[in-house]
Amino acid sequence: MTTYAEKKAQLEARLAGAHGAASVSVRKDTSNRFRDRADDGRRRIDLSHFNGVLRVDAAAGIVEAEGMTTYEALADATLACGTVPAVVPQLKSITLGGAVAGVGIEASSFLHGLVHDTITSVDVLTGTGQILTCTPDNEHRDLFHGLANSYGTLGYALKLSARTVPARRCVELRHERHQDPAAYFARIGRLCAEGGIDFLDGVVFSRDEMYVTLGRFVDDAREVSDYGFERIYYRSIRERQTDALTTRDFLWRWDSDWFWCSKNVGAQHPLVRRLLGRRRLNSITYQKIMRWNARHGVTRLWNRLRGVHAESVIQDVDIPIGRAAEFLAFLHAEVGILPIWICPIRAPDAAQRATLYPLAQGSPSINFGFWDVVTTRQPRPAGCVNRAIERKVTALGGVKSLYSDSYFAEDEFWSIYDRDAYAALKRKYDPEGALGDLYAKCVGRVRADASSGTSAPAPSSTRTSSG
Ligand SMILES: Cc1cc2nc3c(=O)[nH]c(=O)nc-3n(C[C@H](O)[C@H](O)[C@H](O)COP(=O)(O)OP(=O)(O)OC[C@H]3O[C@@H](n4cnc5c(N)ncnc54)[C@H](O)[C@@H]3O)c2cc1C
């Protein structure tokens, strides 16, 4: 087994031979990025072997792992020691470094914030080819606070320390039904303030059918449900008021059906489920199918034959809780995608706020996740619905994740994501621009066909260039 120190030394030697980290981007086996991008021709450095869990210190509440470690591996290693990362994003293939660079979230975020809020130290490979240890209070604290939402454009996280919390064997759930959006968000706000629970998220199924799910660690449960094969978690929310899962199954409750997006590949049909089998019912399989579809244009062709125009709307946006009901009304009226995932997020501490992800301060935000294709008979400008969402999010004081399509004008983008602070970070840590620019990476269109009507990117090979 190569240790982290050895991998780091090998990387430093390779980079020195290559005269710095010029034109670097990273190779990974999986990706949860959802933007259509052609290969930009940059030289890829393979960092996929930085994928080991290094140390679990349950007593100190810390796990140390390499940047490309998947949360599945991280959760398994920590659960074996009776502990779990404070925030575990819902998809097994999301990596620790990717979740910091791309803003990871889960039902524990009302307590612990976003994934980057749980990080205590990170080693970053910068654009100059140096590997710097960054903490909230050392000389590289600007980079520490700048990494969230930087999408690899300030450097790649090679090793991170993340906070963990004690885990118990099971998680007990209670699903509460609500009919009125104002009362629904008021209830979520009260639950965030009261504490006494470990997890809190929700689902909106229709204008008058929304659920909040309260989760608590428990030592044991009389009976535990299994949503990894024949049964489907999101459906259970409407069917039962209480439930219990093992802690591991709880962490991956959304992964088996990619929330509900497995419907797009027919995987919610009982026969298809049996054919796929437990092992293949997961977000990694669905990503592969969606990427294949994007590459071969099957959905595009089907839409043309049906005479419909399609726009992919795959978004996660964070709205201050006081404006959440207004945003939900907008989604119902102007977008029409259902279900919608709801997840409250603790307000960031002023001193620890992520430089490039300006989440509202003072009160919790609500993450709205909605992922589907919107179709019309009439042609519309590319990105019309996504654009309307961006404007609404900004008007309500919210902030949008950048893992999928964005349509911001450049000045508008930088008025949200702090141009001056980003420019200062780039001057210091990537002066030659080897790692690319955030706006170009997250908004710039490499493919002319911005609204392809598919909901997955078209990688150039099955191995993902996660540039
Ligand atoms: C359909 C869908 C659902 C999602 N649902 C959730 C969810 O439920 N919960 C959640 O938390 N998030 C969710 N996300 C967002 C996800 O957390 C981010 O997209 C995250 O960046 C993915 O991490 P990854 O490891 O797969 O990174 P990738 O997708 O491989 O890369 C994402 C970006 O991060 C950069 N990057 C990757 N690794 C590193 C590193 N080590 N250091 C610095 N930069 C790096 C890459 O260059 C790239 O720009 C979802 C995304 C999609 C598409």
What confidence tens digit (pLDDT) does each residue in 222-262 have? 999 999 999 999 999 999 999 999 999 999 999 999 999 99
Predicted local confidence at residue 247, as pLDDT: 98
Residue identifier of the C-alpha nearest atom 23 of ligand 1: 98
Question: Is residue 413 very low, low, confident or very high in pLDDT (cuts 50, 70, 90)?
Answer: very high
Say yes or no to pLDDT of 462 above 50. Answer: no
What confidence tens digit (pLDDT) does each residue in 203-214 have? 999 999 999 999
Q: Residue 99, Cα to own-chain centre: how many angstroms? A: 6
Say yes or no to pLDDT of 95 above 80. Answer: yes
Predicted local confidence at residue 444, as pLDDT: 86
Say yes or no to pLDDT of 218 above 70. Answer: yes
The residue among 95 and 26 whose pLDDT is bigger is 95
Q: Coil, strand or helix: which one is 326?
A: helix
- The rounded percent of the chain whose pLDDT value lies above 90 is 78
The residue among 169 and 309 whose pLDDT is bigger is 169
Question: Is residue 106 very low, low, confident or very high in pLDDT (cuts 50, 70, 90)?
Answer: very high
- Mean pLDDT, the chain, integer: 90
Say yes or no to pLDDT of 39 above 60. Answer: no
102 Cβ inside 6 Å of ligand 1 = yes
What confidence tens digit (pLDDT) does each residue in 338-379 have? 999 999 999 998 888 899 999 999 999 999 999 999 998 888
What confidence tens digit (pLDDT) does each residue in 19-32 have? 544 455 666 666 66
For residue 152, the CA-to-ligand 1 centroid distance in Å is 10
Core vs surface per residue 421-458: b (16+ CB within 10 A) or e: ebeebbebbbeeebbbebbebbbebeeeebbbbbbbbb
User: Among 326, 420, 411, 418, which residue's Cα sits nearest to residue 366?
Assistant: 326
- Which atom of ligand 1 sits closest to the CA of residue 93? 26
Is this prediction's pTM over 0.75? yes
| Structural domains present in the chain | 4-167 (3.30.465.10)
Question: Is residue 15 very low, low, confident or very high in pLDDT (cuts 50, 70, 90)?
Answer: confident
Q: Are strands 83-85 and 43-46 parallel, antiparallel or unpaired?
A: unpaired
For residue 158, the CA-to-ligand 1 centroid distance in Å is 15
- The widest CA-to-CA distance across the chain, in whole angstroms, is 63
Predicted local confidence at residue 176, as pLDDT: 98
Residue identifier of the C-alpha nearest atom 30 of ligand 1: 31
Average pLDDT over residues 85-93: 96
For residue 98, the CA-to-ligand 1 centroid distance in Å is 5
Beta strands in 167-303 (DSSP E): 170-178, 199-206, 209-218, 242-246
Predicted local confidence at residue 19, as pLDDT: 56
299 Cβ inside 6 Å of ligand 1 = no
For residue 40, the CA-to-ligand 1 centroid distance in Å is 19
33 Cβ inside 6 Å of ligand 1 = yes
34 Cβ inside 6 Å of ligand 1 = yes
What confidence tens digit (pLDDT) does each residue in 55-76 have? 999 999 999 999 999 999 999 9
CA distance 28 to 431: 25
The residue among 24 and 390 whose pLDDT is bigger is 390
Question: Is residue 99 very low, low, confident or very high in pLDDT (cuts 50, 70, 90)?
Answer: very high
Predicted local confidence at residue 352, as pLDDT: 82
Predicted local confidence at residue 297, as pLDDT: 85
Say yes or no to pLDDT of 457 above 90. Answer: no
Predicted local confidence at residue 460, as pLDDT: 27
Residue identifier of the C-alpha nearest atom 43 of ligand 1: 156
Predicted local confidence at residue 350, as pLDDT: 84
Say yes or no to pLDDT of 38 above 50. Answer: yes
Say yes or no to pLDDT of 399 above 50. Answer: yes
Predicted local confidence at residue 308, as pLDDT: 86
CA distance 463 to 433: 25
Assigned token pair, 127: 């654009």
Which of 252, 403, 437 gets mutated to test ligand 1 (max ligand atoms within 8 A of its CB)? Answer: 403
The residue among 352 and 267 whose pLDDT is bigger is 267
Q: Are strands 242-246 and 340-345 parallel, antiparallel or unpaired?
A: unpaired
- Which atom of ligand 1 sits closest to the CA of residue 154? 43
Predicted local confidence at residue 31, as pLDDT: 64
Average pLDDT over residues 118-138: 96
For residue 378, the CA-to-ligand 1 centroid distance in Å is 33
- The rounded percent of the chain whose pLDDT value lies above 70 is 89
